[in-house]
């Protein structure tokens, strides 16, 4: 069975500080990993997917298959980054037809 | 392009009553997913439609939940009779593509369901 773990429910940093939101997964197949973000009073939206290997809003995430991790990083946090962040996994090669498995989410608060 | 739309945004009903949630996906999206987040827990998959067909309903909690997608357009999720543990936020998502479902999923605002 696939599982996604986000060990931190809450994470607080000051503006300008580096931030890292942790995500670990367990899955025996070929996973595709995502980060979704939900800002206050907005809907859940895709932030990053590992196959794109791009930086969005200054965030990056690298899939580490050896450590089964997909941590989200940003070198200099901004107040507008405050939000709920979800790590999610999808089976890229099997028969799950696209369903996502989510972690519990991390609430990031960036203080001025 | 209009996003995924869900109705109602919030529903409060008593235990034993029936509630129907609706989701209008992005036009042209064949894949439609339902998810649920129960208080304090992670967002969990309920089921997946490809057009009007149920592709995967492995996440449906029990037979009190019935999902339909007549004509392959909007979808409804009915809970009958509702129980206290059904309270939570129900999300709908849609994506392009066919069976592979490998396109990004776009989420609606969710319906907050409260069972009293």
pLDDT digits (tens, 9 = 90+) for A19-72: 999 999 998 778 889 999 999 999 999 999 887 777 889 999 989 989 999 999
Can you give the pLDDT at residue B1?
62
Other CB atoms within 10 A of residue A66 CB: 5
First-to-last CA distance in chain A? 41
The mean pLDDT of A84-101, rounded to a whole number, is 82
Can you give the pLDDT at residue B99?
54
Radius of gyration of chain A from Cα atoms? Answer: 14
**Residue B96's closest chain A neighbor by CA?**
A98
Can you give the pLDDT at residue B93?
96
What secondary structure letter does DSSP report for A97?
A: T
Give the residue ranges of chain B where pLDDT is below 50: none
Can you give the pLDDT at residue B72?
85
Strands A60-61 and A45-49: unpaired
Q: Which residues of A touch B55 (CB under 8 A)?
A: 97
Can you give the pLDDT at residue B98?
58
Q: Please identify which residue in the block is written with the tokens 């089964």.
A: A68
The alpha-carbon gap from A101 to the nearest alpha carbon of chain B, in Å, equals 7
Can you give the pLDDT at residue B34?
97
Whether the CB-CB separation of A110 and A78 falls below 8 Å is answered with yes
Spatial separation of the C-alpha atoms in residues A5 and A23, rounded to whole Å: 6
Q: Please identify which residue in the block is written with the tokens 């392959």.
A: B72
CB contact under 8 A, B59 and A99: yes
């Amino acid at each position: 069975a696939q599982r996604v773990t986000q060990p931190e429910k809450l994470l607080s940093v000051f503006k300008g500080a580096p931030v890292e939101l942790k995500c670990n997964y367990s899955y025996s197949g070929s996973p595709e990993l995502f980060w979704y973000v939900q800002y206050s009073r907005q809907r859940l939206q895709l932030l990053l997917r590992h196959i794109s290997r791009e930086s969005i809003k200054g965030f990056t995430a690298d899939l580490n298959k050896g450590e089964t991790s997909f941590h989200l990083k940003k070198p200099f946090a901004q107040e507008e980054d405050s939000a709920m962040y979800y790590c999610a996994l999808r089976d890229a090669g099997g028969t799950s037809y696209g369903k996502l498995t989510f972690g519990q989410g991390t609430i990031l608060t960036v203080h001025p | 392009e209009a996003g995924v739309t869900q109705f109602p945004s919030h529903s409060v009903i008593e235990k034993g009553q029936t509630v129907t949630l609706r989701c209008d996906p992005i036009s042209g999206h064949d894949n439609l997913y339902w998810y649920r987040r129960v208080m304090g827990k992670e967002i969990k998959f309920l089921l997946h439609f490809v057009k009007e067909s149920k592709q995967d309903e492995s996440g449906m909690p029990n037979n009190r939940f019935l999902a339909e997608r007549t004509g392959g357009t909007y979808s409804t999720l009915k809970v009958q009779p509702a129980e206290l543990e059904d309270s939570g936020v129900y999300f709908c998502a849609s994506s392009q593509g066919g069976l592979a479902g490998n396109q990004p999923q776009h989420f609606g605002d969710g319906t907050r369901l409260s069972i009293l």
